[in-house]
Every structure is written in C-alpha cells, then in structure tokens.
Amino acid sequence: MSLEGADYNPEQFPGLIYRMKDPKAATLLFSSGKVVCTGAKSREQVKAAISKVIKHIEKAGIRIDGEPKIEVQNIVATFDLGQQVNLNAVAISLGLEKVEYEPEQFPGLVFRMDIPKVVLLLFGSGKVVCTGARKPQDVEEAVEKITIELRAAGQIH
C-alpha cells in the first residue's frame, strides 16, 4: 500500500505490479519473494529497478537479507531487414517444420531457431522481433543466421 504506482489485485493476478518511471521498467513481486523485472533496456537498469524496489520494501518494514541474484531469462529485441518480405515464400524456404505461419490468425511468421535457441517473428514489412535470448550475443547470432538464410533462399538481397 505504501508503494506509489503499485497495483495489487490478487483476484486478477497473484503478484504486485510496480511500474516505475526511472528507470522505465515494471516489476512483479510475488509472495514467494521472487521478483520479475520487465521493460528494462539493460542489466544496469534491471539492477537499478530491483534496488529501488528493495528500498521501498525495506521502508515498509520488511527486511531483505543479502544481494538478490539477478538472472536474465528473456531478452526481446527488434530489427529491420530493410525491405518487404514475402512470408509465404519464406515459410517454404525456412522449412515448414520450424515455421508457424497462419496469416488469418497472426500477421507474422513464427520461426523457432535451434542455435541460438530463440524465436523470431518475421513480418511482411521486414520487421523482425527476436525473443527468448538470454544474452545479447544470442540476438546478434540469430540476426546474422536469419539474414544469411533469407539471402541464400533469395528472399532478401
């Protein structure tokens, strides 16, 4: 209750949602003691957000022992191929076993990459969303691999 900007409605969601402006991030606090930070743009912003939450929790009279262990579980990144893409042709060239593409349900093509283990959402505009990465190098490797595959299949130049 003493956390300004916090929402807690256990009938709708089991955690307390705390949105902050600096750093611009949201944290989900659960009764188990777990905290999920989302929206931060860097590890430093995650640390700052968690630190801010801890200070507020301690102000409310709850003691926190030790430093929290921060584990990055999901990096989401976007990039642009710089040209329009024919998703029907891409679905065939990438192999139907790794692709989900149902344009009537969702306008993007879902491509599950094994190495690195990420999911790419490709859109006809050439925009791509990469999710599931655990480190920035995973994103870089995925961008490089999908670009090489699409060029080799003649889908982009």
Spans of all domains in the chain: 6-59, 75-152
Q: Closest by alpha carbon to 52, among 22, 8, 7?
A: 22
Looking at domain 75-152, its CATH superfamily turns out to be TATA-Binding Protein (3.30.310.10)
Domains 6-59 and 75-152 equal at CATH topology level: yes
Q: Which two tokens stand for residue 75?
A: 């990096």
What pLDDT was estimated at residue 68? 86
What pLDDT was estimated at residue 143? 94
What pLDDT was estimated at residue 100? 95
Q: Which residue has the tokens 């030790």?
A: 66
What pLDDT was estimated at residue 2? 62
Class of domain 6-59: alpha beta
Name the stretches of the chain with pLDDT < 50.
Answer: none
What pLDDT was estimated at residue 110? 97
Instruction: State the CB neighbour count (10 A cutoff) for residue 90.
Output: 21
Q: What is the pTM of this model?
A: 0.80
What pLDDT was estimated at residue 1? 58
